[in-house]
Amino acid sequence: MVKKFKLAIKKEIFYYLLILLILALVMHSDLLNNSVARFQAMSEKGNYTHPFLYAFIVYATILFFRKIIDFVVGIFEKKSN
């Protein structure tokens, strides 16, 4: 039971970090070219939390739809048995 939980947590953290990385690259394409300048600008403005907040909002939205789909699929699997 604990191993299954740890695996699920690792999978969800991976999804969150993947969303964070994709959003960062889409919103700030200069991260690939001049990442030092981007991090300096972020440091000067003091806005460290907004990437994590935006990624969490996208993650929560995707998680919501995943759980709805799992619920609907579960209903149809019970009917077929």
Give tens-digit pLDDT for 23-35: 988 988 887 888 8
| Structure letter (DSSP) for residue 49 | S
pTM over 0.85: no
Domain range summary for the chain, segments of one domain joined by +: 2-80
pLDDT for 81 beyond 70: no
Render pLDDT for 47-77 as a digit per residue (tens, 0 to 9): 778 889 999 999 999 999 999 999 999 998 8
Distance between CA atoms of 1 and 54, rounded to whole angstroms?
A: 32
Are 56 and 23 in contact by the 8 Å Cβ rule? The answer is: no
């604990």: which residue's tokens?
Answer: 2
Q: Quick check: 11 and 47 in contact, CB under 8 A?
A: no
Q: What would you report as the CA-atom Rg of the chain, rounded to the nearest whole angstrom?
A: 18
